[in-house]
Amino acid sequence: MTTTAGRVVRVTTDPVATTTPTPTPNPTTRATGSASAKVVPWRTVLIPAAVLCAVDTFWAVVLRGAVGAVGRGQEPYLAWARGSLLLLPLFTLAVLAALGICARRFGARPRGALRLWATTGLTVVAATLAGSVLPAVDTVYDALLENDQAAMMGSMAKLCTGSCLAHEQASTWSLQLRGLGLCALLMLVTNVVLVAWMLALAGGRALLATTHRRPGRGLAGVLASLLLASAVVHAAVVPEHLAEWWLAAAFFVALTVAQVGAAVSVWLHPLSKRVVPVLVVLVTVGPLILWVWSRTVGLPFDPDPGAAEAIGLPDVVSGILELDALAAGVALFGRWGRPAPTWASPHLVRVLVLGVVVATVVGLAGAGIPSLDPVGFVSGPMSSVGG
């Protein structure tokens, strides 16, 4: 200890007391997400999701053939294969969300029968809810179709109108709802058996979380997936617009290319503050303004000037995706150079991206492509409903 100009200065050679500079976090990690975190391993998610999806879709196809409208039970194997493939993202999302909750509550490896059964139960409930989506849509659509057919036949033959027709339509709804309840019960029982069987095959052990050390894309990955999903939906409606007006089809082709380019730019350059944010705004805000304009007062330069267009499922889905992309872009570029928000964990990012995939499948189901339609909106007798 020495004295300098009336001040006491302590001098030490203790290496422990030596102050070391705090390392500066990697800006890429700060903007895109944590480089090390706990996530549910994909092998724990995908195998149960695929098995449960295949079996629950089988019960949905059985219900369609048993109480569905006439002609709805044709090609059951093709309907099962198509439905299993298109519903797999929804089941993956459900299983991932359920296991993520269990991992947070019970740890990476749940110990004890109570925790294992709680994990099994939550997974079964999530999968059953996901599996009930297709039969629920089938129930509503079949009831509407059969009631329309009953009204048409009753008015033509003058045999069942008024109270008779109302009673017949109420009976149709009752039959469809009872069939939905039975289908959901069969799914629940089957899912309990399957999840318990898969847990037994794993020796009664469940790995719910592993350390994810690779740097994730975080918000950049979510934004890129939103832009890419919107581009896919827009590409799917190009043939429909080409049959109506070639200029509209050309616009959607250009928009698809622009949104794919924006998604790639966000993925490769998530920290850019120049071109990428402007590109994201252009490919989201621009289409949204045109969509609102065309659905309210009508565009003045299309084949039917001033006529408002009908709102369809694909354009609603793409609009939601673009709004979410705009919000994700604001969250990403507004936080440039600062730590990522605590909610943007790798697990939540996976859940959000899977939700984007599910929304994309919904948008494609209404795009007029039979191979991408698990319900039958655009093929068979279903296509006549609401037409």
Mean pLDDT (the chain) is 80
User: Do the domain assignments include residue 26?
Assistant: no
* pLDDT band (50, 70, 90) for residue 143: confident
- What is the value of pTM for the model shown? 0.80
Mean predicted confidence (pLDDT) in 189-214: 84
Structure confidence by residue, pLDDT tens digits, 50-95: 999 999 999 999 998 888 877 777 788 988 999 999 999 999 999 9
Helix (H, G, I), strand (E, B) or coil at 7: strand
What pLDDT sits at residue 37? 63
| 207 and 319 share one domain | no
Number of domains in the chain: 2
pLDDT of residue 385: 41
Residues 6+ apart with CB under 8 A from 34: 216, 218, 340, 345, 346
pLDDT of residue 152: 73
Token look-up 């102050």 returns 19
C-alpha 382/C-alpha 138 separation (Å) is: 10
Cα separation of 12 and 35, whole Å? 37
Residue 26, pLDDT above cutoff 70: no
Are both 339 and 279 inside the same structural domain? Answer: yes
Percent of all residues in the chain with a pLDDT value above 90, rounded to a whole number? 33
For residues 102 and 307, give the distance between their C-alpha atoms in angstroms, rounded to a whole number: 52
Task: Compute the average pLDDT of residues 317-346.
Answer: 76
Residue 23 lies in a domain: no
Which string of b and e fits 251-283 if b means at least 16 CB within 10 Å?
Answer: bbeebbebbbebbebbbeebeeeeebbebbbeb
pLDDT at 249 over 80: yes
Cα–Cα distance measured from residue 252 to residue 297, given in angstroms and rounded to the nearest whole number: 20
Confirm whether 328 is domain-assigned. yes
Query: What are the tens digits of pLDDT across the range 144-188?
Result: 888 887 777 766 656 666 777 788 888 888 999 999 999 999 999
3-state secondary structure of 38: strand
Give the domain range for residue 230: 219-373
Whether 280 has a pLDDT exceeding 90, the answer reads: no
Q: Are 151 and 201 in a shared domain? A: yes
Angle, vertex CA 317, rays to CA 321 and CA 90, nearest 5: 90
Interval 92-122: pLDDT, tens: 999 999 999 998 888 888 888 888 899 999 9
Q: Is residue 185 included in any domain, yes or no?
A: yes
Domain boundary among 212, 229, 259: 212
Q: Give the integer Cα–Cα distance in Å for 52 and 77.
A: 17
